[in-house]
Amino acid sequence: MELAAPSLTSNGSAAGGNYGYDNIMSWFDNVTENAAMVQRETLRRILELNYGVEYLKKWLGEGDEDMKMKIQEMEACALESLYTSLVPVASHADFEPFIQRIADGDTAPILTQQPITTLSLSSGTTEGRQKFLPFTGHSSQTTLQIFMLAAAYRSRVYPIRDGGKILEFIYSGKQFKTKGGLKAGTATTHYYSSDEFKIKQKKTKSFTCSPQQVISGGDYKQSTYCHLLLGLFFSDQVEFVTSAFAYSIVQAFASFEELWEEICNDIKHGTLSSKITLPRMRKAVLDIMNPNPNPFLASRIEAICEELRGLEWCGLIPKLWPNAKQKQDWTSSPTVDFIEDRPVPISQVKVGQEYEIVLTTFTGLYRYRLGDVVEVAGFHNGTPKLNFICRRRLILTINIDKNTEKDLQLVVERGTQLLSDYRAELVDFTSHADKVHQPGHYIIYWEINGKVEERVLSECCREMDASFADHGYVVSRRSNSIGPLELCIVERGTFKKILDHFIGNGAALSQFKTPRCTSNQMLLRILDVCTIKRFHSTAYS
């Protein structure tokens, strides 16, 4: 499915104007009603701005004025057809040499006519290494548009009270300079340090509990402590608890189970734990805490936490943040195949079908394979509503089998149902397709909280093996061309070590998500060293 990234205004004007929620929703209704036309005109603007850059010369010619006039005057459908017929679908590997030249200081118009002065880094959790992508002012403006649009629709159902705050577990990593002097860092780092982030808070009237010094501290453990502390300090004002990725919330509340007593002590006395050693962060938090010790609030939180501890921390958010709004998500569980077909424009997608997203952007990516597989769940006006299914390359495969991230999630859910009888829970998991030992087999790594008998874990292993529904897997298991599934139980804290590994190599917590399938040798070494029990499936015996 091919997309071109539109701006907030259809006439191309700047996106940072004074838009009310009604104006934003009116704009969104207009562009979604006319999605095909908006996409084609967006493509035209991208080509008008960037025609003649080195990458496009290979496909569209040397950038003569005649072709530029054709782009401006050609009928939109014809331009779209010409573009897709001449410019090939490309992966990051195709763009990497061009982006590296930019990182090394080449100022020629390689991908965009406007100079690229900033590069963003991917999290690196998919392929085990971080990748550079162009980042411009347009990137920050687009992110601002997304937040404003989301806030506009959210306000219909959950209007924020005056003075309401948001407990946001957001983290800005460190920026650095490339060989060519370009500023580099994660996209979230660039956004949280941008003017657009400040504009977002003012325009959506949703102010985060934590000051900039906490968000940009650079030490996720210290930042998490301060996020939790200030979130509780302002607990009666908190309207939402949120993060860019769900993992950050899970990680934060796992830490809270160990930190709550110290946090309560800080609230009681208006002090700050000695754990917080970064001077700017410490000063900013103490400026908020010092004048306002609150022993009554601390006592209330202590009583709630004592109760929650006996309930395995179930219901933590509504009890500690009584004014936080709650949203329920519905999920789907389709089967994924990866039959390659010709790319189709947004106007031709069908409900129930799955597609990989291909993007053309203002920042110099042309027919770029994003790697995300989505399902068309329906339409909002003339625009498809998408459910994320999986990362295309994150699949388990040994032989003729193909099991996706979604398939793995369903299998793990089946396996963990047996844990509930033992008041145990799955903390995190990942997997690996072992092709070194013959026959090859799947390995699933679990970190669990609680004590579970070995016979139960063995049954969990068998249940997961039997739950893979992919025909290629079932046939291969029956013929023993794929060996029994192996369940490895790792010691507590293993996935925190994995997180620390990624953070130590430059990833930001705001972008981190546990890879559900990995062949990264460093991660596999961590997992194998931390494995304390192994079980092999008896299914298909």
Average pLDDT over residues 88-94: 90
Q: What pLDDT does 15 receive? A: 40
pLDDT > 70 fraction of the chain, expressed in percent and rounded? 90
3-state secondary structure at position 284: helix
- CA-CA distance, 528 to 536, in Å (whole number)? 15
pTM for this predicted structure: 0.69
Average pLDDT over residues 412-432: 89
- Pair 493, 102: CB distance under 8 Å: no
pLDDT > 90 fraction of the chain, expressed in percent and rounded? 33
Q: What is the pLDDT of residues 271-303, one digit of tens each?
A: 999 999 999 999 999 999 887 889 999 999 999
Average pLDDT over residues 496-523: 81
User: Mean of the per-residue pLDDT values for the chain?
Assistant: 84
- CA-CA distance, 335 to 355, in Å (whole number)? 13
pLDDT at residue 97 greater than cutoff 70? yes
Q: What pLDDT does 335 receive? A: 39
Is the bond preceding 439 in cis, omega lying within 30 degrees of 0?
yes
pLDDT at residue 67 greater than cutoff 60? yes
β-pair type (441-449, 354-360): unpaired
- Least Cα distance to 374 among 406, 399, 401 occurs for 406
Average pLDDT over residues 432-457: 91
The token pair that represents 453 in the structure block: 């008998």
Q: 437 vs 392, which has greater pLDDT?
A: 437
| Distance from the first to the final alpha carbon of the chain | 43
- Return phi, psi of residue 109, to 5°: -75, 85
- Least Cα distance to 355 among 367, 368, 337 occurs for 337
| Count of positions (residues) in the chain | 541
- Return phi, psi of residue 423, to 5°: 50, 35
Q: 532 vs 481, which has greater pLDDT?
A: 532
Q: What is the pLDDT of residues 211-270, one digit of tens each?
A: 989 988 878 889 999 999 999 999 999 988 988 777 788 888 988 999 999 999 999 999
Beta bridge partners of 289: none
- Least Cα distance to 468 among 391, 413, 531, 386 occurs for 413
- Pair 237, 323: CB distance under 8 Å: yes
Q: How many other β-carbons are positioned within 10 Å of the β-carbon of residue 20?
A: 10
